[in-house]
């Protein structure tokens, strides 16, 4: 069998050798602080998003203790908003629970994507990773790990922990601020801008292949077409349609790229 040929550098792209060498040279402590700095821009949308949840949850009838329990235990903004909306609509408890679980099914996909990079973590480390795994920590980590595949497990864990510290702590504190100070926030401040901006900021850098783009646009089109369905069922249908489209496109294009 002939040896695998070395990949030819693409002169159209800036060389990544220097960046990779710098990433590999970081100690776990340095990787932790680098994760912190990488996560800081997300606070621009995390904080108003969390404040908005605190306001909406109290308006739905939850007291501050219940709101904080919700944010600390669930720690998933999309499913939290879904549950609160269904509470306001007087939906049955089973529908609220199942809807929250369905929205959070994406965490299973996140876990599967991170498993090749974090499989050597201990059981305790995997436990806190699963707790701190949110959209933003996943988006930051998977891009960093794929960009620098030779990182050690300690460097990967430290980077993830730095991002999680910046993102999860302020989420809880800002939720408390929204729940306790919501009445003092003027009605003309549109805090709900944070939700679409958050997901756009996470998704846009990750749309790198035809499969990614196909999954994205099919999910968007299906969500718009099914927007009239009750209790957010349109989104629950649109998400698997997008994933299935991405899987089909990837299966058809991968053999060509390998050839």
Residue 82: which H helix or E strand, with range? helix 77-88
**If you average pLDDT over residues 16-38, what whole number do you get?**
88
Pick the range with the lowest mean pLDDT from 105-114, 127-136, 166-175.
Answer: 105-114
Give the chain's mean pLDDT. Answer: 80
Pick the range with the lowest mean pLDDT from 113-122, 169-178, 219-228.
Answer: 219-228
Question: Residue 12's pLDDT is what?
Answer: 47
* pTM (predicted TM-score): 0.72
The residue among 199 and 83 whose pLDDT is bigger is 83
Q: Which letter, b or e, does each residue of 216-234 get, where b requires 16 or more Cβ atoms within 10 Å of its Cβ?
A: bebbeebbeebeeeebbeb
Q: Determine the angle formed by the axes of helices 43-59 and 64-74, rounding to 10 degrees.
A: 130
| pLDDT greater than 80 at residue 19 | no
pLDDT per residue as tens digits for the range 168-212: 999 999 999 989 986 666 655 555 555 566 566 556 656 667 877
Close Cβ partners of 162 (under 8 Å, ≥ 6 residues apart)? 31, 32, 33, 34, 35, 36, 37, 38, 39
Q: Whole-angstrom Cα distance, residue 19 to residue 63?
A: 48
Close Cβ partners of 58 (under 8 Å, ≥ 6 residues apart)? 64, 67, 178, 179, 182
Contact between 90 and 81 (Cβ < 8 Å): no
| pLDDT greater than 60 at residue 258 | no
Question: Residue 20's pLDDT is what?
Answer: 78
| pLDDT greater than 80 at residue 48 | yes
Pick the range with the lowest mean pLDDT from 51-60, 107-116, 137-146, 232-241.
Answer: 232-241
**If you average pLDDT over residues 29-36, what whole number do you get?**
95
Question: Any idea what DSSP says for residue 209?
Answer: S
Question: Residue 197's pLDDT is what?
Answer: 60
């Amino acid at each position: 069998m002939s040896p695998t040929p070395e990949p030819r550098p693409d002169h159209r792209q800036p060389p990544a050798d220097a960046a990779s060498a710098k990433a590999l040279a970081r100690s776990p402590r340095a990787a932790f602080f680098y994760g912190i700095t990488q996560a800081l821009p997300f606070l621009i949308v995390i904080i108003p998003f969390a404040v908005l949840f605190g306001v909406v949850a109290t308006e739905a009838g939850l007291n501050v203790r219940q709101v904080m329990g919700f944010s600390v235990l669930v720690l998933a903004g999309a499913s939290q908003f879904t549950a609160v909306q269904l509470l306001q609509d007087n939906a049955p408890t089973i529908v609220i629970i199942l809807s929250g679980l369905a929205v959070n099914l994406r965490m299973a996909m996140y876990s599967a994507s991170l498993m090749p990079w974090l499989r050597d973590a201990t059981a305790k480390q995997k436990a806190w990773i699963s707790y701190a795994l949110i959209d933003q920590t996943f988006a930051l980590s998977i891009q960093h790990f794929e960009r620098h595949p030779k990182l050690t497990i300690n460097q990967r864990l430290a980077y993830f922990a730095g991002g999680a510290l910046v993102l999860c702590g302020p989420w809880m504190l800002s939720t408390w601020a929204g729940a306790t100070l919501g009445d003092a926030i003027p009605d003309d401040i549109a805090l709900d801008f944070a939700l679409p901006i958050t997901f756009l900021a996470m998704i846009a850098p990750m749309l790198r292949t035809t499969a990614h783009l196909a999954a994205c646009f099919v999910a968007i089109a299906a969500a718009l077409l099914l927007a009239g369905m009750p209790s957010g069922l349109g989104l629950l249908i649109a998400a698997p349609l997008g994933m299935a489209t991405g899987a089909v496109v990837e299966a058809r294009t991968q053999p060509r790229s390998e050839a």
